[in-house]
A and B are shown apart, each in its own frame.
Chain A
């Protein structure tokens, strides 16, 4: 700042108390400000998250107007409530209160990081009929084709997710195959140039279905009835 030569004074002894007082005081102010900001924004952030989930579910299940949240527990599907923890499963209902589809989330490792996708599982056909990428860090221009490439999206319009005879896992795991080699309804045809992203989509679909579909099929009556009970 100034051009004058400053003669360095011998370091004066700073009392220990002064240092403690300053750091303690600053930490106290800091604590107050952070807690204040957290308390003020918490209700807004919770509401934002609720709206975002709702929007995503209604987008992935076309025609849905209401939803009920369930979680996947060791005992099957349980309605969201205190003390219930696990993967969320969203049952979506149309305007007549009929079960329209079930939104299940899955994660697959992509080129730039995890790809988180919400799938629309239709219990009647036992298949995945739609998808929406919730979060991805895939390369722009390549990885984002997962949402835009019409040929690729065709794969996710009737992706087979039937259960095996015991109802414990998928009869055929969902896999991504090389572009142009899809022969079975449980296969996903990869996008040329975005094979790793396409594989992530397949892994996400498989993970979501393997985890949630057995429980959904077992507790289907519970899901179908949940909305009626909720509205009565």
Chain B
């Protein structure tokens, strides 16, 4: 029914690794900013959110990939949203079963995974065209990239904003927490700092490739 897949990707290491670095959903594509800024006030919240999103990403990707020949183009978005919402609801119940405190801390952002554009984006751009195994591997890669990015924000914000990591105190009693870091502005500060770092690394690498051998960049 649907158009035949235009291009089938072979399973390579890149299928997984791409999501971690080159196509990192947060630091490169700037997708899913709502949970990135909202629930990264502690490391455990960040990791839980990342894992929950990964489960939804993998589950919905698998189902969409399996059904890709039976989903007509006209109803594909409706189909994807129903499939994604199903997995989000299941994750929602699972988190309540694991810990009610965690559930309270993540609040509405678990349900909001439904509208996370990373997941719908993967469904549309990848799962709907690729075979099951590459889809699983790619979704895991993107999920891991998302989780790592959330942890990068969550750990820095928790260390600076509360003086703890995973609830363990890192500094003596003399440490005055930077409360702003666990407040919404802190999310923007830390995200900005990480983006600065990643762009700097990327630019430096590009410049090194452009520079002809033997001539330093500043002598051109």
Describe A's contact surface by its main secondary structure: helix
Whether the pair A23, B79 counts as a contact (CB closer than 8 A) is: yes
Residues of B within 8 A of A (CB): 1, 6-7, 41, 63, 67, 70-75, 78-79, 82-83, 85-87, 89-90, 93-94, 96-97, 99-101, 104, 125, 129, 161-162, 177, 179, 182-183
Complex formed: what's the CA distance from A2 to B71 in Å? 22
Prevailing SS type, chain B contact patch: helix
In Å, the complex CA distance between A25 and B99 comes to 33
Provide 21 A-B residue pairs closer than 8 Å at the C-beta atoms, listed in order of the A residue.
A1-B129, A6-B6, A14-B73, A18-B70, A21-B70, A22-B67, A22-B70, A22-B75, A23-B75, A23-B82, A26-B67, A26-B71, A26-B79, A26-B82, A26-B83, A30-B85, A34-B90, A44-B97, A49-B100, A140-B182, A141-B179
A164 at the interface (CB under 8 A from B): no
Distance between Cα atoms of A85 and B2 in the complex (Å): 52
A18 B1 Cβ-Cβ under 8 A: yes
- B96 near A45 (CB under 8 angstroms)? yes
Query: Taking A2-B6, A139-B183 as contacts, is the C-beta distance between A30 and B86 under 8 angstroms?
Result: yes
* Closest residue on chain A to residue B59 by CB atoms: A33
A45 and B97 contacting across the interface, CB-CB below 8 Å: yes
Q: Is A135 an interface residue (CB 8 A)?
A: yes
Task: Assess whether B179 is in contact with A22, with CB atoms less than 8 Å apart.
Answer: no
Chain B residue nearest to A134 (CB atoms) is B104
Contacts of A45 on B, CB cut-off 8 Å?
A: 93, 96-97, 100
Complex formed: what's the CA distance from A41 to B96 in Å?
8
Provide the residues of chain A in CB contact with B7, threshold 8 Å.
1-2
What B residues does A27 contact at CB under 8 A? Answer: 82
Contact of B100 among A19, A48, A141 (CB under 8 A): A48
For the complex, what is the distance from the CA of A145 to the CA of B1, rounded to whole Å?
Answer: 60
Question: How far, in angstroms, from A230 to B173 measured CA to CA in the complex?
Answer: 48
Q: Note all chain A residues with C-beta closer than 8 A to B101.
A: 52
Residue on B with the closest CB to A14? B72
Of B79, B97, B101, chain A has the most CB atoms within 10 Å of the CB of: B97
Least CB distance from A139 to B in Å reads: 7
What 4 A-B pairs come out closest when comparing CB atoms?
A: A141-B179, A37-B90, A30-B86, A44-B97
Q: How far is the CA of A38 from the CA of B72 in the complex (A)?
A: 30
The residue in chain A whose Cβ has the minimal distance to the Cβ of B181 is A140
